[in-house]
């Protein structure tokens, strides 16, 4: 038995609930980044 490969990890994620919540986390992080960027630009422009 070898170690974990990317394929094994992908199958594990696909078979678990992680497949559903990973995109949600990525979306939330992206939203926070965009909001922070907009706030920074707003403060810089004043």
32: Cα separation from own chain's centroid: 11
Q: What is the pLDDT of residue 46?
A: 67
Q: What is the pLDDT of residue 32?
A: 93
Q: What is the pLDDT of residue 19?
A: 61
d(CA 45, CA 17): 43
Residue 3, token pair as written in the block = 């170690």
Q: What is the pLDDT of residue 25?
A: 86
d(CA 8, CA 22): 17
d(CA 12, CA 34): 31
List C-alpha distances in Å: 31 to 7, 21, 36, 43: 29, 15, 9, 18
Q: What is the pTM of this model?
A: 0.44
Q: What is the pLDDT of residues 1-46, one digit of tens each?
A: 556 677 777 776 666 666 667 788 889 999 999 999 888 887 777 6
């Amino acid at each position: 038995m070898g170690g974990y490969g990317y394929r094994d990890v992908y199958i594990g994620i696909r078979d678990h609930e992680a497949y559903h919540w990973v995109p949600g986390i990525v979306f939330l992080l992206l939203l926070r980044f965009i909001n922070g960027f907009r706030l920074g630009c707003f403060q810089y422009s004043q």
